[in-house]
Structure 1
Amino acid sequence: MRDMNFMDKLLDGVAVEWKALGEVCRIETGKLNANAAVDDGAYMFFTTAKETSRINKYRWDTEALLIAGNANVGEVKHYIGKFDAYQRTYVLTNFINIVNVRFLFFLLSNSLKKYLEERTNSAAMTYIVLSTLENFLIPIPCPENPEKSLAIQAEIVRILDTFTELTTELTTELTTRKKQYNYYRDKLLSFDDGEVEWKTLGEVGDVKMCKRILKNETQSEGDVPFYKIGTFGKQADAFISREIYESYKNRYSFPKKGDVLISASGTIGRAVIYDGEPAYFQDSNIVWLDNDESIVTNKYLWHFYKVAKWFVSGGGTIDRLYNDNIRKTKIPVPYPNDPKQSLAEQTRIVAILDKFDALTNSISEGLPREIALRQKQYEYYRDLLLSFPKPEEVAA
């Protein structure tokens, strides 16, 4: 793949004929009441390009491309076998013999959504107009030589499938590792009687929050990011001045580097370790436990928060985790009568769980990083391999 001469030989100088999608296949739609879903049906029923159920009867038994026509408009699925489809799903079959169906799948997956968005007046596409879909242009390389054309298409498919399969394997591996992490986390945070004392969080620390920031104290740009519940753990969209930050930080409660911040509304219990960089946090919605690390360490607390049974108060417009509810939450403290052994055991547990967490969640190492790199690699070669020269009348 490093030898770009290979790409040049494959694509350079190749004549291309552009055909409308309606010329290279039959385009149909499913029916409103095609079939009733059943639990043990033998055949697939597509409600969108991705979502399926089971049925006892089928309409098609062939190789097909399915395009979502309402929900997830423009999503494409390649399927071979017996199936039926809902009325808003477009079904492509009966492909002409100069088109590789998998090649067409990659073309549609890469360009169809943008094509549809450019041809709709709506801010968000709600459905596909059949004539618009039929007029989507498909490049056929080397049309005067069908055998060579199909060979070129097959080689493009082989390369892109290689990247797709690798990403799928890595994603499957990530799912397995997350299950392992959850298993060991649950196992390591469970203790035999006598080895542990269940203390309330209120016994190991007190709940703290930042001083309230008023709306007129924030701005869209500034020196210090201000995290609200909607941007907690993400990218801040509001800022406060350095002057306010320094004043409030020195006069009121403020987390220390390493303290574990938690969301107290919305997604309850989401935890972020404070890195010590200048930042400010929305009062009552983002709080932390000012814990005694001679009893419970911050990293042990962070892993525990992922399995904590919070006392959530409902009844309002959103669920909330009030300070008293946090204080009542119980945490297992190993070897409570031997502080040295307790901290050693917490350190051992954290070391094991940190390895799993880095492998399954870190964007700078582990599987998420590998998946992101492979996706970028796939997108690079996809764009390279599917960028065919357009004649002026088509590009206009």
Structure 2
Amino acid sequence: MNHLSYIEKLLDGVEVVWLPLGEIGQFIRGNGLQKKDFIETGFPAIHYGQIYTKYGLSADETFTYISEELAKKLRKAERNDLLLATTSENDDDVVKPLAWLGNQSAISGDMMLFRHEQNVKYLAHYFLTEAFQAQKRKYITGAKVRRVSSGDLSKIVVPIPCPDNPEKSLAIQAEIVRILDAFTAMTAELTAELNMRKKQYNYYREKLLASELPSSKTATLGEILDMRAGKHIKAKDISAIKNAEHKYICFGGNGSRGFVQEYSHEGDYALIGRQGALCGNVKRAKGKFYATEHAVVCTPKEEIDIDWAFHMLTFMNLNQYKSQSAQPGLAVGNLANLTINVPTISEQRKIAKILNKFDTLTTSLQEGLPREIELRRKQYEYYRDLLLSFPASPAGGPKSDEAA
């Protein structure tokens, strides 16, 4: 797509005016709704936290409901309202948009709706651009809880094609939305495919690893794996960036910690995180790497396939065995005493071959579905920022460093 020629053709000579949100609509704050108010069926309702945990860019149905009696007391979103979560613990989620395409829905406090006469999905797409985010960041306040007020949001400018000709303006907005929706649809399809494959993977993993084969024997993890804690390393010796000097990946209690100059292990291993709230996570490590003392390095003993061992360790949900202390941890000795069913080496290899295919498809950032989803997401972001980057007008658009 030739961006400039396409946009010029789409605009057909009309001017794009940057207008403050306060001039094209009004903000209405939600009130009173709490999670404890949710019931199985009733009046549709949206809690602010759901905007960044359950919803995507747009929706026409809610996940939750409240009583009709409570709904009478609450403010409600109408079709074409833009719903915004105005508080969060991180800057990215503050003012996360949800284009509401359904019927009336009650909204909670800590969120607001923006009522306007534009294409709601056009605004939602624009709210995700870096140009909007740069403006938003200037108005974020709070320490632990981050928030933006309606007064400050009203000052943020957005590009509106030919605002004096609403019919043509909405037609242009709709065409931009059509193009961007095509990219988000591809991402949604791939995400649905990934979720289905993950369910398949879990089904076959349960079937293959939980079943006791006729040839299986009972053994402890210590009998099939050599399990040793890694080596201590100073934090200053770990780089967050891989470079010519720091070229070996370093594993800690929760996975990768960065890169180091020297390696502690070389070969084919499984690693278990043994410290922290996420202890028990299992990683595969091949080639040269460094394992800190917060990771357990598992070396397969005779007649044990390391790929099968990796899937078995993951399946065991080792986090359930962590100590109940201020700093949760897993003792190597306790791990070594856990018992499992161990099939023959030939059966292990058959099982591992099946599960490896699912693991690659569902987790690989090089060749699996997560990679495809990331590529489609970047493609969407690229065209979104192109299609919504208009030159400044006399009404005043973002400064060049904000829109870059």
TM-score by length of 1: 0.84
Quote how far apart the aligned CAs of 1:346 are. Answer: 1.2
Q: Give the 3 Å change call, closer, same or farther, for CA 209–40 of structure 1 in structure 2.
A: closer
Q: 1:390 aligns with which of 380, 389, 392?
A: 392
3-state DSSP of counterpart to 2:159: strand
Contact 1:29 1:89 survives alignment (8 Å): yes
Q: 2:98 aligns with which of 77, 91, 101?
A: 77
Quote how far apart the aligned CAs of 1:382 are. Answer: 0.2
Q: Is 1:198 aligned to residue 182 of structure 2?
A: no
Quote how far apart the aligned CAs of 1:391 are. Answer: 2.5
Contact 1:170 1:367 survives alignment (8 Å): yes
Q: Hey, what does 1:137 align to over in structure 2?
A: 157
Q: 1:295 aligns with which of 303, 323, 330?
A: 303
Contact 1:261 1:273 survives alignment (8 Å): yes
Partners in 2 of 1:228 and 1:4 — Cα distance?
46
Q: Hey, what does 1:339 align to over in structure 2?
A: none
Q: Give the 3 Å change call, closer, same or farther, for CA 359–260 of structure 1 in structure 2.
A: same
Partners in 2 of 1:140 and 1:157 — Cα distance?
13
Partners in 1 of 2:360 and 2:165 — Cα distance?
51
Q: Hey, what does 1:331 align to over in structure 2?
A: 340
Contact 2:180 2:384 survives alignment (8 Å): yes
Partners in 1 of 2:219 and 2:103 — Cα distance?
57
Q: Hey, what does 1:23 align to over in structure 2?
A: 23
Deviations 1:139-190 (A, max 9, x none): 1113343332221111100011111121111111111110100000110113
Quote how far apart the aligned CAs of 1:383 are. Answer: 0.4
Stretch deviating more after TM superposition (195-204 or 122-131): 122-131
Q: Is 1:60 aligned to residue 68 of structure 2?
A: no
Q: Give the 3 Å change call, closer, same or farther, for CA 309–61 of structure 1 in structure 2.
A: closer
Partners in 2 of 1:163 and 1:385 — Cα distance?
13
Quote how far apart the aligned CAs of 1:41 are. Answer: 3.6
Q: Hey, what does 2:60 align to over in structure 1?
A: none
Deviations 1:14-66 (A, max 9, x none): 41122221222221101236896132242233321346642123343621111
Q: Hey, what does 1:308 align to over in structure 2?
A: 316
Q: Hey, what does 1:337 align to over in structure 2?
A: none
Contact 2:39 2:65 survives alignment (8 Å): yes
Q: Hey, what does 1:46 align to over in structure 2?
A: 46
Quote how far apart the aligned CAs of 1:134 are. Answer: 1.2
Q: Hey, what does 1:345 align to over in structure 2?
A: 347
Which runs of 5 or more structure 1 residues have no equivalent in the other structure?
250-254, 335-341
Q: Which letter maps to 1:188?
A: L
Q: Give the 3 Å change call, closer, same or farther, for CA 108–256 of structure 1 in structure 2.
A: closer
How many residues align? The count is 369
Output aligned runs, 1:230-379, within 5 Å. Answer: 232-236=254-258, 239=260, 242=262, 249=264, 255-266=265-276, 267-277=278-288, 279-283=289-293, 285-292=294-301, 294-308=302-316, 310=318, 312-334=321-343, 342-379=344-381
Partners in 2 of 1:211 and 1:20 — Cα distance?
57
Q: Which letter maps to 1:84?
A: A
Quote how far apart the aligned CAs of 1:359 are. Answer: 0.9
Partners in 2 of 1:144 and 1:193 — Cα distance?
74
Contact 1:35 1:55 survives alignment (8 Å): no
Q: Is 1:86 aligned to residue 86 of structure 2?
A: no
Contact 1:19 1:140 survives alignment (8 Å): yes
Contact 2:249 2:256 survives alignment (8 Å): no
Quote how far apart the aligned CAs of 1:386 are. Answer: 0.5
3-state DSSP of counterpart to 2:87: coil
Q: Hey, what does 2:250 align to over in structure 1?
A: 227
Larger relative contact order (C-alpha < 8 A, sep ≥ 6)? 2
Quote how far apart the aligned CAs of 1:319 are. Answer: 2.0
Q: Which letter maps to 1:89?
A: M
Quote how far apart the aligned CAs of 1:275 are. Answer: 1.9
Stretch deviating more after TM superposition (63-72 or 303-312): 303-312
Partners in 2 of 1:316 and 1:194 — Cα distance?
40
Q: Which letter maps to 1:151?
A: A
3-state DSSP of counterpart to 1:28: strand
Quote how far apart the aligned CAs of 1:273 are. Answer: 2.1
Quote how far apart the aligned CAs of 1:108 are. Answer: 1.9
Q: 1:155 aligns with which of 169, 172, 175?
A: 175
Contact 1:142 1:149 survives alignment (8 Å): yes
3-state DSSP of counterpart to 1:236: strand
Deviations 1:57-98 (A, max 9, x none): 3343621111111123211111122211222211122x23xx
Q: Give the 3 Å change call, closer, same or farther, for CA 226–256 of structure 1 in structure 2.
A: closer
Q: Is 1:108 aligned to residue 131 of structure 2?
A: no
TM-score by length of 2: 0.82
Larger radius of gyration: 1
3-state DSSP of counterpart to 1:258: strand
CA RMSD in angstroms comes to 2.7
Partners in 1 of 2:350 and 2:128 — Cα distance?
47
Quote how far apart the aligned CAs of 1:8 are. Answer: 4.1
Q: Which letter maps to 1:269?
A: G
Q: Which letter maps to 2:97?
A: V
